[in-house]
Amino acid sequence: MKTLLAILLLAPIAFAQAQNDTTVSPQVQPDRHVTFRIRAPKASEVTINGDWMPPRTQEKLSKDESGVWSITLGPLEPGIAIYNFVVDGVAIPDPVNPKMKLRARTSASLVEVPGDGTELWLPHDVPHGLVELNYIPSKALGGQTREVRVYTPPAYHQDASKTYPILYLLHGSNDTAAGWTDVGRAHYILDNLIAQKKAVPMIIVMPWGHAVPFGEPQQNNTKLFEQFLLEDAMQMIEKNYRVAPGRENRAIVGLSMGGGQAIQIGLGHLELFSAVGSFSGAIPGDFATRFKTLLDDPQGTNQKLHLFFIACGRQDGLFPRSRQLADTLEANHINHVFAPSEGLHNYAVWRLYLSKVAPMLFQADQQKTQ
């Protein structure tokens, strides 16, 4: 009841801001410090939460005489960051910032901090692919229609006879199918890598990974999502797009929750996938027992698994799980790439990891066909 009352009290504030608020927020400085502001004259406390902060961390804003709360933070890393305000205990996006980050539950705001202009996630003067929205009816999910975003590389529509390998790219918990394009900028990263001839042109499929309502047990979600991906999405996507046949032309990679999903689905179906990647992944706690057969047969596993990529930021709470996974693979002689970095649990590192793993995908198979 208190939360509902707080929302009702904040509604007039948000409406007034939408109509005539001249507050500037966020304001990015040349030195990458950012000032965040919100007009809330009747609020008693305002804090800000950003994905560049350690988990469960908030910074307090100060109020001026006109009722505008503000704080300057930074310098922030170049790229797109996610943040929201908490006004008297209620989390809200920045009311005057039109750049929104929709999530499975609640919403937030985005701030883009410029770098030196060479970053791979920027739209450079190169040929660009397309991102198409597909709406797929799912038998596995009781007839629900699910959004799936599909990136096709720049030359896709120039030669109707050419087929392409396919990457299934999964998002994290509380995200949507738009996460990898709106914040991860996967389409620009691939455009630039392809233009630099560092990555093979590929199709990228970005489905919505919450098969059950957000907040329900993850085990149930992964099981149903696997059914949706394999029985509904994969069949429809690979029927309607020019996908090169065979497991050698199929990879699955994900971040956080999606990293755990990629491992469970990819390693559980090596008849379908030849490459698996986990960024800051929610590694299954029972990995060693779940995949004992693969660990006990390193020669057979290595013949099937062309790439097993694992990356995580050292300041991420999930880092020990990635480290342990890499150690387990090493002890069992399973070929893998472990690429730890500095960083937290955010898209700042996930954009970096995608730029590292994309050039590794399908290269050997591409060379065999040339």
pLDDT tens digits, residue range 327-338? 999 999 999 999
pLDDT tens digits, residue range 55-106? 889 999 999 999 999 999 999 999 999 999 999 999 999 999 999 999 999 9
Strand order in the sheet with 203-207: 130-137, 145-152, 203-207, 166-170, 250-255, 275-279, 307-311, 337-338
Do residues 73 and 146 both lie within one domain? no
Q: What is the CB neighbour count within 10 angstroms for residue 3?
A: 9
Tokens of 124: 């450079």
- The CATH number of residue 243's host domain is 3.40.50.1820
Amino acid symbol at 176: T
Q: How confident is the model at residue 366 (pLDDT cuts 50, 70, 90)?
A: very low
Using the 3D structure, point to which of 49, 84, 113 is the last residue of a domain: 113
Tokens of 211: 């098969």
User: What is the reported pLDDT for 11?
Assistant: 54
Whether 4 has a pLDDT exceeding 70, the answer reads no
Residue 257's SS3 state is: helix
pLDDT tens digits, residue range 215-230? 777 778 999 999 999 9
In a domain, 124, yes or no: no
pLDDT tens digits, residue range 95-115? 999 999 999 999 999 999 999
In a domain, 119, yes or no: no
Whether 365 has a pLDDT exceeding 60, the answer reads no
Geometric angle at alpha carbon 71, from 68 and 77, rounded to 5°: 140
Do residues 200 and 271 both lie within one domain? yes
Do residues 158 and 293 both lie within one domain? yes
Amino acid symbol at 174: N
Do residues 59 and 159 both lie within one domain? no
Q: What is the CB neighbour count within 10 angstroms for residue 293?
A: 10
Tokens of 131: 């991102």
Do residues 81 and 222 both lie within one domain? no
- The β-bridge relationship of strands 166-170 and 203-207 is parallel
Whether 367 has a pLDDT exceeding 50, the answer reads no
In a domain, 286, yes or no: yes
Do residues 172 and 295 both lie within one domain? yes
* Residue-level length of the chain: 370
Do residues 83 and 148 both lie within one domain? no
User: What is the reported pLDDT for 12?
Assistant: 56
Do residues 210 and 352 both lie within one domain? yes
User: What is the reported pLDDT for 220?
Assistant: 86
Do residues 172 and 294 both lie within one domain? yes
- The CATH number of residue 97's host domain is 2.60.40.10
Q: Cα separation of 282 and 259, whole Å?
A: 6
Q: Which residues span the domain enclosing 73?
A: 2-113
Do residues 201 and 74 both lie within one domain? no
In a domain, 186, yes or no: yes
Residues 6+ apart with CB under 8 A from 266: 251, 252, 273, 275, 276
Q: Cα separation of 326 and 336, whole Å?
A: 8
Q: Cα separation of 65 and 160, whole Å?
A: 64
Whether 253 has a pLDDT exceeding 50, the answer reads yes
Using the 3D structure, point to which of 64, 80, 113 is the last residue of a domain: 113
Q: What is the pTM of this model?
A: 0.92
Q: Cα separation of 21 and 95, whole Å?
A: 9
User: What is the reported pLDDT for 157?
Assistant: 94
Whether 2 has a pLDDT exceeding 70, the answer reads no
The DSSP secondary-structure symbol of 323 reads: H
pLDDT tens digits, residue range 188-199? 999 999 999 999
Do residues 219 and 356 both lie within one domain? yes
User: What is the reported pLDDT for 118?
Assistant: 97
Counting the structural domains of the chain, the total is: 2
Whether 18 has a pLDDT exceeding 60, the answer reads no
Do residues 108 and 136 both lie within one domain? no
